[in-house]
Structure 1
Amino acid sequence: MRRKAAVAGHFYPAHATAIKRQIESLITETTPQREVMGAVAPHAGYVYSGPVAVKVYQRIKAAQTILLLGPNHGAGMDMAAPPKAAIMAQGTWDMPNGEADINLALSSLLMNETDLLEDAPWAHEWEHSLEVQVPFLQYFNGDIQIVPIIIWNLADEEITSLAAALARGLKKYGRPVTVIASTDFSHYIPHELAKLKDAMAIEKIIALDGMGLVEVVRRERISMCGYLATAVVIETLKALGATKAELVDYKTSGDVSGDYASVVGYGGLVIS
């Protein structure tokens, strides 16, 4: 199955040369790449979240295979029970700057470890949260393979269960895989309030406290769309030996638009 780029020409340019030009325009510093276990990156249009995303991706030397987790923004909302965690287990993503094949060997291992993953390629058709990560990965790391998972809803015990299953599958795979959580932070609140709320969420990520992140997001009503995906990534990487998370950058859309009355927060972190 081939998935066409859904948001090329909207969230990021539609042509390879324009993508390259925009990414290079976002680079404001020179920094060496290093091997990390994973990262947290935003997924808005490049004009808004690109300055944060590029600082994440220029720092990480990603493995050839990337396990991508993000929120499901609406696929299956008309269903009685949308897939809790929808994986696209095989196929190819046709991107403007080259194909990204799905790593069937890894996706099969992961699906064998848990019933929480449902092979639902249709759920990925219009979802942007993972797609916008791919051009950055291709620019900084060349030819890549991906395994995409989008999350609709998980109970607390399902978060830990899915994370444990992913960790088991990754161990059985036995080759390097970079695990990335795609999320934006607060949505459509004043700039200073967004910074305050998002700092609470970022504190939990830096502490590698996935369930603490879930708790603070719910308690403080932080409108962080990918908090479940981020919690799963944190708990997965901890099970694989992660000991450190670092904040790379944080901005809001107001830093770009000048409108600080209603902003979206963007945070970038690396996990090692």
Structure 2
Amino acid sequence: MIRLPAVAGMFYPKTIEAIEEQISRFDVGDATPQPALGVVAPHAGYQYSGLVAAKVYSRIAPQGPVILIGPNHKSGMFTGAPLVAIMAEGVWEMPGGDVEVDAALASLIMEETDLPANDPKAHENEHSLETQIPLLTHYCGEVKIVPIIMARIPDSALASLAEGIYRAIKRSGASATLVASSDFSHHVTAKTAERLDLMAIERIEALDASGLLEVVRGENISMCGVQPTAVVLDVCKRLGATSAELIEYKTSGDTTGDYRSVVGYGGLIIR
């Protein structure tokens, strides 16, 4: 099974040469890659959120496969699409070369929890995971991935999904790094976005999955990947995480100069 690039030339450049040229312009600072249990990274066009994600990926050294979990923005468009869709085998064809799915770990996840359905078609046009891969492979080299996208599911089911992923990782006998793909506030002023988003970021820094869900729901924060982030936090805590650090926060207004209606982007590392 081959998953073709859906947003090359839109969210990020179409050729590896152009991708590398754009990434080379990101000032990521002094970055010493270290192992990490997980990250939160945005998934907008690289001109808007690429620097935030680059600062995250330049600071991690994945140990083993990378489990990518993001929102399925198109879940409402297709009748019968699973609420949680995994691509259990195959490759993602990217401008920089094919990225292989870790079929063994994907199989273990499906054995440990019945929430993810193996549905490669659900991944065909979704951008939330694809946008992570060029930055991930640029900074971290060759990796295997396990792609999972989620429509909104009952919050009560998130712990079961997290437990299944955790148990699968432990059964694999290897380490893994988790990526929560999420933007933060959408279509509010920059001042409002920063106020609301820092409330959510505070809960992530506290490794508080339930608190994150509560503040996002209570404050009506339009964080598209809140459930994937809650799952990643839960899994990382089960794996022994003790801290989460905010690496960078920006809004689309920092690119466009228009601060009246922005999207917020936060990048965090969980260790």
TM range (shorter): over 0.9
Give the alignment of 1:16-31 within 5 angstroms.
16-31=16-31
Return the alpha-carbon distance in structure 2 between the equivalents of residues 224 and 201 of structure 1: 9
Return the alpha-carbon distance in structure 1 between the equivalents of residues 222 and 178 of structure 2: 23
Distance of aligned partners of 1:135 and 1:64 in 2 relative to their CA distance in 1, 3 Å threshold: farther
1:145 positional shift: 0.7
Matched, 1:120 2:119: yes
1:30 positional shift: 2.2
Return the alpha-carbon distance in structure 2 between the equivalents of residues 153 and 70 of structure 1: 11
Contact 1:76 1:123 (8 Å CA) reproduced: no
- Summarize deviations over 1:157-203 as a string: whole Å, max 9, x none: 20111011110011101112111100000001100000011011001
1:78 positional shift: 3.5
Partner of 2:45: 45
Give the alignment of 1:80-99 within 5 angstroms.
81-99=80-98
Return the alpha-carbon distance in structure 2 between the equivalents of residues 82 and 250 of structure 1: 33
Give the alignment of 1:28-177 within 5 angstroms.
28-75=28-75, 77-79=77-79, 81-177=80-176
Contact 2:16 2:96 (8 Å CA) reproduced: yes
TM-score under structure 2 length normalisation: 0.98
Partner of 1:234: 233
- Unpaired runs of 5+ residues, structure 2, are none
1:141 positional shift: 1.5
1:28 positional shift: 4.1
Contact 2:28 2:58 (8 Å CA) reproduced: no
Return the alpha-carbon distance in structure 2 between the equivalents of residues 139 and 28 of structure 1: 13
Partner of 1:255: 254
- Residue identity opposite 2:221 in structure 1: I
- Residue identity opposite 1:262 in structure 2: S
- Residue identity opposite 1:208 in structure 2: L
Contact 2:75 2:83 (8 Å CA) reproduced: no
- Residue identity opposite 1:131 in structure 2: E
Structure 1 stretches of at least 4 aligned residues deviating more than 2 Å after TM superposition: 75-78
Return the alpha-carbon distance in structure 2 between the equivalents of residues 63 and 98 of structure 1: 21
Return the alpha-carbon distance in structure 2 between the equivalents of residues 28 and 106 of structure 1: 31
**Over aligned residues, Cα RMSD in angstroms?**
1.0
* Number of positions where the alignment pairs a residue of Structure 1 with one of Structure 2: 271
Partner of 2:187: 188
Return the alpha-carbon distance in structure 2 between the equivalents of residues 27 and 54 of structure 1: 9
1:154 positional shift: 1.7
